[in-house]
Structure 1
Amino acid sequence: MTPNLNASSTTRAAPDDRRDRFATLSFKRDVAAPSSVLWQAWTAPAARAVWASPTPSVTMEFLEADTRVGGREVSLCKVEGQPDIRCENGWLELQPAVCSVNYEVVSSEGVTQSVALVTADISDTGERSQLVVTVQLSSLAEDMEAGYRQGFGAGLDNLAGAAERTMVLQRVIKAPRTVVWGAWMNPETLPQWWGPDGFSCRTKRIDLRAGGEWVFDMIGPDGTVFPNHHRYGEVRAEERLGYTLLWGENGPKHADAWASFEDHDGATKVTLGMIFSTAAEFQEAKGFGAVELGLETLGKLERFVAAQ
């Protein structure tokens, strides 16, 4: 997570200021979402891209994203008229829905500005959860503490809002990950199973590569046509994909989505996540049964794979 370096100077601290370079910062957020959902919003690369920017004037460009122990995330924080800020985040510990630990190195124009150890603890209180983030900061430039407080505070506010409009669906499918991925990322087979029970797909064009798109109609059991447009961002073979959902071809975005695939005792655990663009859209989706319909879609995937 990139601190707000507008709130700090990039001048190197003088040797006399060494004792001022170290700080321990703590942030707490109560979130109206279960810990399992908050965990996905906190760790899934597609979700992190939604909330990571501290302010609308900051553009985040993700160069790498590998959320597993030993993996790293590299991003550029871009502000018009200022040098890019590079943030490297390496994952040291990941206990799903409980705890994460990562290091963070922030630099600008090849000069390291700060290093930090970031610990996130999640506790569950039923339909709500609490996130406590502790940052052990070592500044190599003056006033980095203020930048971290502002940047982390804004980012965690964004995270809480995103988690509260996030829907997460999971299913363990009794098939190898290669087979499940192949059924999902094959333009011939995806339209055969996508959608809830009784729905069918009518494809206009489909390209499931990174930068590609799927423009199609979902047709309900009563013949109602629902225009859809998926735009694909990251595609990491047999691990995950990220895409945006639009209301019809080139229509307004209504969700950022991702799917991840994990080995699970010889089977495949599929996680499908969606961050709706607004809280109202999230509530509307829940109201018409999006959770149940989404689980039906994953059930169709399982039946399709089993029949192959």
Structure 2
Amino acid sequence: MAANSSLVYDALLSAKFKVIFAEILVLVFLCINLLLIVIYFKKECFHTTARYVLFAVTLLSDSLLLFITDLLLFLTFFYLKMQVWICIIIFFLTSLYTTVTPVTLTAMTLERYVAICMPLRHAELCSTHSTMNCILIIHCISSVPCIVILSTFFASASLSFYKEERICAVGVFMIHVWQDHLRSAISQFYFLIMCIIIIFSYAKIMKVAKAASGENEKSTQKGLRTVALHGFQLLLCLIQLWCPFIEAAVFNINLKLFEHIKYFNYIVFYIAPRCLSPLIYGLRDDMFFHALKNSLLSHKRNLI
């Protein structure tokens, strides 16, 4: 009896430590994102530049996703259940904004490709109007996977199922095996398309970089590094698309192992990619960095 009590206590302590650690990370990144969002809205020059508008979209998307997934992590670790219809709403938002970030990163990569390889058409293709349309297209493309999954779920689930209480996870909506296969096919298709775009853009920019000289070479090399960072960030985001399949397979084998893998995936493939956006455009970009620096110095002077 004492041994069992000790094991239960150790499990609770481990769960609390993991939740607290995740909460600290999420809080730090949410504060950083909030600061950068405030900087973006304070400077009107950012509102008319395509890459900054798309950057703001990733910040807002990442912040919302971090908040929702952090809530789900908390609920999962303490086995707190909710009615399925509530889980549907949470799943839709989570699935949508899980896809919005990699699709937006792909759009940002294309923007860098146009800026470096087609500079004369950049103003036309990346105007404010075009960027707003692009954001709408990004959300439409990103909503397709969750709409398909929920459509198959609505066609398969009974009305009484919506009132059942479950731990909110994607496995709740996978009633038939073929639904998993369909979801896997959609994720692989998205993975393939975005990888092709990243590789194509990188190859074209590298070709321009070899031919550039002087200031153009410096600008092109910076664009090349930006695309490379986007590629790495996108890779983590795309691996994240595979996480639910791994988690669903483990869930049917061992619940304890499922908790560990879900936590690992959350830290590495949900939180880590979202700390790179502030690095790429918050610190590496000269204009945004100076705006951030001036804002912090002004805030410091006001406190003094």
Q: Normalized against structure 1, the TM-score is what?
A: 0.23
If asked which structure has higher relative contact order (CA below 8 Å, sep 6+), I would say 2
More strand, by proportion: 1
